[in-house]
Chain A
Amino acid sequence: MATQDTISSPAAASSRQLNDPALLRRRYSAERRFQAYGLAAIMVALFFLVVLFTSIISQGWTAFLQSSIRLDVTLDKSEFTDADGNVSDKAIRLANYAKLGRDALQNALGIEKPGRPEKRKLKELLSRGIDTQIRDVIEADRSRIGQTVPIWLLASDNVDALLKGSIDRDVPEARRQLDNRQVAWVDKLVEEGRLEKKFNWGLFTFGASSQPETAGLGVAIIGSFFMMLIVALVAVPIGVAAAAYLEEFAPKNTLTDIIEVNINNLAAVPSIVFGLLGLAIFINFMGLPRSASLVGGLVLSLMTLPTVIIATRAAIRAVPPSIREAALGVGASRMQALFHHVLPLALPGILTGTIIGLVQALGETAPLLMIGLVAFVVDYPVTPMDPATALPVQIYMWASSAERGFVERTMGATLVLLLFLFVMNAAAVYLRRRFERKW
Chain B
Amino acid sequence: MSTWLITVGLLAAAAAAYLLSLFKARATVKGEVSKLHSRLGYYGSYAAIWTILPALLITFIWTAAEPQVIRSLVEKDLPQSVQSQPDALKSLALGRIASVAEGLPKLSEDEFKVVEKARLGFAPMTDAQNILQEKGVVLGSTPEPYVISAGYDQVIYKQNSRWMITGIAALLAVLGFAYSYFSIRPRLKARNTVENVVLGTLIAASTVAILTTVGIVFSVLFETIHFFSEVPPAEFFFGTVWDPRFTSVGRELSGAEGQFGLIPLLWGTLFISFVALLVAVPIGLFAAIYMSEYAGPKLRGFAKPVLEILAGIPTIVYGLFALVTFGPFLRDTGDLIGLDIAASSVLTAGIVMGIMIIPFVSSLSDDIISSVPQALREGSYGLGATKSETIKKVVLPAALPGIVGAVMLAASRAIGETMIVVLAAGIAANLTLNPFEPVTTITVKIVSQLTGDLEFNSPQTLVAFALGLTLFAITLVLNIYALYIVRKYREQYD
Contact = CB atoms under 8 A, between A and B. Distances in A.
Interface stretch (B19-27, B164-172, B431-439, B468-476): B468-476
A414 B320 contact: yes
B479 A268 contact: yes
A370 B321 CA distance: 23
A241 B313 contact: no
A45 B209 contact: no
Contact of A242 (B208, B293, B412): B208
Interface string A261-278: 111111011111111110
A369 B294 contact: no
Interface string B415-456: 111110011000000000000000000010011001100001
Contacts of B475: 268-270
Contacts of B286: 37-38, 40-42
B456 to A, nearest CB: 7
Interface in A383-439: 392, 395-396, 399, 407, 410-411, 414, 417-418, 421, 425
A365 B416 contact: no
Given A270-B471, A273-B471, A399-B423, A45 B307 contact: yes
Given A34-B388, A35-B388, A272 B418 contact: yes
Contact of B416 (A44, A272, A281, A309): A272
Contacts of A418: 313, 317
Interface string B302-315: 01001101101111
Nearest to A274: B216
A330 B290 CA distance: 50
Contact of B323 (A49, A241, A281, A399): A399
Contacts of A48: 310, 355, 358
Nearest to A362: B314
B451 A262 contact: no
A56 B322 CA distance: 11
The A contact surface, by secondary structure, is helix
A13 interface: no
B447 A272 contact: yes
Nearest to B299: A42
Interface in B118-139: none
Interface in B347-366: 355, 358, 362
Contacts of B423: 396, 399
A306 B209 contact: yes
A244 interface: yes
A365 B321 contact: no
Contacts of A51: 325
A279 interface: yes
Given A49-B309, A55-B325, A277 B220 contact: yes
Interface string A236-252: 01110110111001100
Contacts of B451: 369-370, 374
Contacts of A55: 321, 324-325
B316 A370 contact: no
B315 A365 contact: yes
A202 interface: no
B153 interface: no
Contacts of A49: 306, 309-310
B195 interface: yes
B386 interface: yes
B161 to A, nearest CB: 17
A277 B212 contact: yes
B1 interface: no
A38 B289 contact: yes
The 10 A-B pairs of least Cβ separation, nearest first, read A270-B416, A38-B290, A363-B314, A280-B219, A41-B286, A241-B205, A34-B388, A242-B206, A366-B418, A245-B202
Interface of B: 67, 191, 195, 198-199, 201-203, 205-210, 212-213, 215-216, 219-220, 222-223, 282-287, 289-291, 293-294, 303, 306-307, 309-310, 312-321, 323-325, 355, 358, 362, 384, 386-389, 391-392, 409, 412-413, 415-419, 422-423, 443, 446-447, 450-451, 456, 464-465, 468, 471-472, 475-476, 479-480, 483
29 contacts: A30-B386, A35-B388, A41-B283, A41-B290, A45-B284, A45-B307, A45-B310, A45-B355, A52-B313, A55-B321, A259-B206, A262-B209, A262-B210, A270-B443, A270-B475, A273-B220, A273-B471, A274-B216, A277-B219, A281-B215, A302-B212, A305-B212, A333-B195, A370-B451, A396-B423, A399-B319, A407-B324, A417-B317, A418-B313
Given A370-B450, A392-B419, 19 more contacts: A27-B389, A28-B386, A30-B386, A30-B389, A37-B286, A38-B291, A41-B282, A41-B290, A48-B358, A52-B313, A258-B210, A280-B220, A363-B316, A364-B314, A366-B447, A369-B447, A395-B320, A396-B422, A414-B317
